[in-house]
Amino acid sequence: MKTYLPKVDELQRNQRWYLLDAEGAVLGRLASQVATLLMGKDQACYTPFFDTGAFVIVVNAGKVRLTGRKLDQKLYRSHSGIPGGFKEISARDRLARFPEKIIEDAVNGMLPKNRLGRAMARKLKVYGGKDHRHQAQKPIPVEVGNR
């Protein structure tokens, strides 16, 4: 048996919008669920080299949960490229200052590291509070597993 792969003209892009509430959700479990929706792995027409995923809105990013002692021990490191440009920030400080970036980085780590992965990442909208500006798209609420 050969695996059937759809042609470009047979495939239509998923225009659905999903809404996930991050309040009380564990970061890694939330990120893996979001990455699955962005890639389209929940669809029957999933193809690894086509963008068949949906748009995902995550609200209440500031209320996401990290298990164990990750709030104090997990460090986010960056370097600007110039001498002395190394920066390090703990998960607790980053969650307080940039709650959206914590979820974006976790999801981006689970997406492909190529042009297609960057296109998928652009379909993720993360908001620190309860309000978002995508009401016109009528997002479908999705329950986050394993709170």
Question: Which domains does the chain possess?
Answer: 17-142 (3.90.1180.10)
The b-or-e profile of 4-41 (16+ CB within 10 A means b, else e) is: eeeeeeeeeebebbbbbbbeebbbeebbebbbbbbbbe
Amino acid at 127: Y
CA distance 62 to 98: 8
Residue 82 DSSP SS3:
coil
List all residues 6 or more positions away from 107 whose beta carbon is below 8 Å from its beta carbon.
31, 34, 35, 38, 121, 124
Q: pLDDT (tens digit, 0 to 9) for every residue of the chain, 147 residues total?
A: 787 777 777 777 778 999 999 999 999 999 999 999 999 999 888 888 888 899 999 999 999 999 999 999 999 999 999 999 999 999 999 999 999 999 999 999 999 999 999 999 999 999 999 999 999 999 999 999 866
- pLDDT (0 to 100) of residue 2: 83
In the sheet with 124-126, reading across from the earlier edge strand, the strands are: 124-126, 55-59, 17-21, 140-142
Q: Could you give phi then psi for residue 2, rounded to 5 degrees? A: -100, 145
pTM of the model: 0.91
